[in-house]
A and B are shown apart, each in its own frame.
Chain A
Amino acid sequence: MEKLTFEFFGGAPVNTTRTPALVGVVGSGNLEVLIEPEQLGGRCAVEILTAARGFGDTWKAVLDDFFTRHELADVRISINDVGATPAVVSLRLDQAVESFLGGAQ
């Protein structure tokens, strides 16, 4: 497996009393996304454990676009991935944020 980490800056902080949210399932072609509020000095920290090695650039591109859509700060996102395509990854990330923010977006 491969471990990837990314950080994003300049986002808008969220209310840190929000409940963490989990979406997805760790099955083939799928992933689980855990999103938690955490004091990170304004950062959004993303950590990925993936069974599909060598796709670091793809993850970066997907997450760059994700951060453009949802400019979050003080949020930790943790992912367990089993070879999901970028389409599925983006979908789960958006679902996780929606669940976390209570459907406001």
Chain B
Amino acid sequence: MRDWNVQARNRQARLARAAALTKGKVVDAANIDALLEAVLEPGDRVCLEGNNQKQADFLARALVALDPEKIHDLHMVQSVLALPEHIDVFERGIASKLDFSFSGPQAGRLAKLVGANQIKIGAIHTYLELFGRYFVDLTPRVSLVCAQAADRQGNLYTGPNTEDTPIIVEATAFKSGVVIAQVNEIVDKLPRVDIPGDWVDFVVQSPKPHFIEPLFTRDPAQISEIQVLMAMMAIKGIYAEYGVNRLNHGIGFDTAAIELILPTYAESLGLKGKICQHWALNPHPALIPAIEAGFVESVHCFGSELGMEAYIRARPDVFFTGADGSMRSNRAMCQAAGHYACDMFIGSTLQVDLAGNSSTATLGRIAGFGGAPNMGADARGRRHASPAWLKAGREARQGRNLIPRGQKLVVQMVETFREHMQPAFVEKLDAWELAEAANMDLPPVMIYGEDVSHILTEEGIANLLLCRTDEEREQAIRGVAGYTPVGLGRDKAMVENLRDRGIIRRPEDLGIDKRQATRDLLAARSVKDLVRASGGLYDPPKRFRNW
């Protein structure tokens, strides 16, 4: 007879081992290592909350301090490897297997350990995929999360930086797992309950508030004239053309430039109320002028952004805000919104090949994907129509014998040359070499060419939806690849023809006067300007000030 209660009984055993260490759910910081040792078992699947912005750093350090003789071969499942400790657990022999999504800050170290066979990577995911697998075959046994505050019943307030926590905790709690949360403070009454105490087993107040980074803040002082020109092309050539009202911007100076010329350039084109009303986007300060100018109706966020708290509080009509007045973000839902409920994604990249595939992979670094592929992909499961979606779908299918469908606009926006005169357009992506070196099944592609609708460079916009053959597609890409070897290798006659047909459009074709492309067009040219635009509500982190 099969025993159907193995998990539940195992959970009780773990809790029993921990009983002596707690007062109800609350655990002293001094007892954290003992708690982890009691609650963990070798080979466990463990989720350590490594988010984009916030990190359960106290719990990460406690995990690293464990005795690898007692706790070893853990299988880490986490969104982001951000802290050195996230790699240390593998170096120390406490963990041996990893499934994750993004590893920006630790990408180099990760590559080294993979090369030395000290980490076995299960797979690299996007955020939404990984969250999905928490409910299928990667359910955590123990989850180590972080929150702003808890009460003694274990209820958690995660506030503006809710991020991944609800998804992690739900998957763990409802499959007999154990949830441990580090919090900045334990209070009698929380501003609101983001995660019910029933789902949380242990709560520990960390000696210092949890680590958090302003990852999405971009200083307008660094936006170049070229980026302003490209932003003008994006607005006139794509946003206005298709009527893009629901969108996600991949973070970067290019997209910050678009946000900052909405109140000026887009306004002058009469586009307020016609574009950019609903966003799936982190609440970064570059959006402030557009919000203040009345372009933005709503913003749902993956996480928060340090320094924006007071501004967000003062704009509850725009942001998703609790009854307590503070924002609630939710990465899983924002990713889903970006995938299905947005008509356009636009973002930059490092390399694009002749089919329009793009990758940020570089040798010696295993950085992963984050969430971009969810936004930058056609949502084939989508069924509801919008004018932009239908128009893109028609352009892709006109003249072909196919059942009509809509299509998401996926725009890759990139200068033809990167720093140090590195071309952004290449015949073969570095991703291939990385895949071979790191033993990956597939070259890591961020956005597939099949999904790309437009490529926008300082030379113009290539509309790939209108291309009908691989050759047309290749020449359309070469036609906007400027003076890179790929660009110089263009068939001039074909490119002229593509331009005549409107598949390639240069700034002049869009009626854009290049002389207008100066930094004067930016609604805010400095962080201080953003503070002014926010009426003094935006409080920039130290590194962004020059006053």
User: Interface stretch among A5-13, A33-41, A55-63?
Assistant: A55-63
A55 lies within 8 A of B421 (CB):
yes
B226 lies within 8 A of A91 (CB):
yes
A39-82 interface bits toward B, Cβ cutoff 8 Å, 1 = contact, 0 = none: 00000000000001001011001100000000000000000000
Cβ of B432 < 8 Å from any Cβ of A?
Answer: no
- What's the Cα separation between A22 and B493 when bound, in Å? 36
Cβ of A20 < 8 Å from any Cβ of B?
Answer: no
A87 lies within 8 A of B417 (CB):
yes
Nearest opposing residue in chain B for A105, CB measure: B515
Cβ of A16 < 8 Å from any Cβ of B?
Answer: no
B407-423 interface bits toward A, Cβ cutoff 8 Å, 1 = contact, 0 = none: 00000000111011100
- What's the Cα separation between A44 and B325 when bound, in Å? 66
B472-492 interface bits toward A, Cβ cutoff 8 Å, 1 = contact, 0 = none: 000000000011000010000
Residues of the A chain whose Cβ atoms lie less than 8 Å from the Cβ of B514: 91, 94
- What's the Cα separation between A57 and B417 when bound, in Å? 15
A58 lies within 8 A of B483 (CB):
yes
- What's the Cα separation between A57 and B224 when bound, in Å? 25
B483 lies within 8 A of A98 (CB):
no
A61 lies within 8 A of B483 (CB):
yes
Nearest opposing residue in chain A for B224, CB measure: A88
Residues of the B chain whose Cβ atoms lie less than 8 Å from the Cβ of A94: 514
Cβ of A15 < 8 Å from any Cβ of B?
Answer: no
- In the complex, which of the residues A55, A57, A87, A98 contacts B482, with contact meaning CB atoms closer than 8 Å? A87
Residues of the B chain whose Cβ atoms lie less than 8 Å from the Cβ of A87: 226, 415-417, 458, 482
Nearest opposing residue in chain A for B459, CB measure: A87
A86 lies within 8 A of B225 (CB):
no
Q: Which of B105-140 contact A (CB under 8 A)?
A: none
Measured between C-beta atoms, what is the minimum distance from A82 to chain B in Å?
A: 11
- What's the Cα separation between A23 and B248 when bound, in Å? 37
A52 lies within 8 A of B421 (CB):
yes
For chain B, the bracket of interface size reads: 10 to 19
Indicate whether A85 sits within 8 Å of B225 (C-beta atoms), given known contacts A61-B488, A98-B515: no
B515 lies within 8 A of A85 (CB):
no
Cβ of A27 < 8 Å from any Cβ of B?
Answer: no
A84-105 interface bits toward B, Cβ cutoff 8 Å, 1 = contact, 0 = none: 0111100100100010000000
A85 lies within 8 A of B488 (CB):
no
B226 lies within 8 A of A88 (CB):
yes
Q: Which among A55, A57, A83, A86 has the highest number of chain B CB atoms within 10 Å?
A: A86
- What's the Cα separation between A83 and B482 when bound, in Å? 16
Q: Which of B409-450 contact A (CB under 8 A)?
A: 415-417, 419-421
A62 lies within 8 A of B225 (CB):
no
A83 lies within 8 A of B415 (CB):
no
Nearest opposing residue in chain B for A95, CB measure: B515
A13-31 interface bits toward B, Cβ cutoff 8 Å, 1 = contact, 0 = none: 0000000000000000100
Residues of the B chain whose Cβ atoms lie less than 8 Å from the Cβ of A29: 419
Residues of the A chain whose Cβ atoms lie less than 8 Å from the Cβ of B488: 57, 61
- What's the Cα separation between A38 and B482 when bound, in Å? 31
Residues on B close to A: CB < 8 A? 224-226, 415-417, 419-421, 458, 482-483, 488, 514-515
Can you name 10 A-B residue pairings with CB atoms under 8 Å?
A29-B419, A58-B421, A61-B483, A83-B420, A85-B416, A85-B417, A88-B226, A91-B225, A91-B226, A94-B514
